[in-house]
Structure 1
């Protein structure tokens, strides 16, 4: 590698619910950097004292921390105070993208397409409201903890009883939960790298949705890259991805997730500011295809 990056810390692991995924991502990133001759060292904030990064001579940080503490602006703010450059988005855009409700509100203000939704707070949750909520959201909903990733705590609810159970489970991960109208269709993702749109990927799973098991454990999940869209539809997808990424203020690298519903309309799902870098992750797949 022609650029001398100095001593690089790869932050991975951490304390979030996505720790195991982060460890896998970090190991893959660390190996890739070392293989390219970069002086890189793995640092786990759960066991290592990250306040010593500056004193230990680290000049740059690759953030491979997923979830809270790594993807929500916290570590970004800490590294800013140390004046150490880091990969990915800044403090504000990281914090916004981690909060699915704030992300959707901003997208709506930009008139970008996203599913109907409601926000449920644990402290004010009333089970008697669930029937009304189901009716308002077309009878089937996706339940998502607002500040979690990797599909942790997510579930589909087809009736009031399932919604109550799904919310109780989601509240174990977050005091604020997003309920979205269920979208039937195909799932796509678009990776962003330094202003460049990478090849879109279409995912197909036999599970009800692209959940944690489908992402990290299944050998049955299918990935299509190229994604099979015609030129016009692909251009539309890429433009919405760019607009959605910029609306949140994101820079550097990330991933924007979509559904294409049965009416052939795009629906934005979320932005990932520290996407997975595991052997089954999507950004590496898109990057590999872009080189062909």
Structure 2
């Protein structure tokens, strides 16, 4: 939809809907609501967050695609909806490159590799040695098939050359609780989700999954630092719009989101959630998705992960 100069000058004239394809109370939802409040003030119109949950983000993503391309509907998008689903589903019912337009990359959350307290493991090398001594005996919990926690574990198994049994749960909190109870031996879990258990000492963290150490856990090495030099897996996030949305609107929203997420107050708030800010041009968001698709495709192929 192309706007005239006069109509663009008056944008936005009414509230904007922001569709989040994940549950209320999750990191995507919390971050989106925080940013929506700040961006709303900046652009002079309310941004209303609506959760459209299901099928690894597919339902919410399709809702964005099917909305009018008038700048009044945008959506949360992440590594799952833009990079993982492309290989996880045999028949993905949307084409992100053709049906969506990037608005802004806003940041990412790392996972933590943690083990149950009584496993007797103090490092990643200890874990690898134990796993090699008893193939298939150890178990790794996750928030579900195809999640970044699951695929982070599969990447670890492939790089370390170990066999560990995957146990999917209905969400990250359930997997974290299973680890604390000793029902599984390890997890690769979102830092924000597992933080309470780390603070209590009920589970033992071994490493983070990103390219650099996390500011809240500075003594914890990256997986690469432990010897798996090419290991990197983070849950990056951002925002998209229907593909035909006017570029002027997309540029305006990109500027507003970048400004919001880079403010000192927002950075501090997000840091408390272990959310690392990372911004750039609109194109940079989809460039990241294109770069990571083959990485996750290889992990999914080698692990045999599937949801349909």
Asked if Structure 1 and Structure 2 have the same fold, meaning a TM-score greater than 0.5 normalized by the shorter chain, the answer is no
Structure with the higher fraction of residues in helix conformation: 2
Tell me which interval the TM-score lies in, with the shorter structure as reference length.
0.3 to 0.5
TM-score when normalising by structure 1: 0.36
Structure with higher RCO (Cα < 8 A, 6+ apart): 2
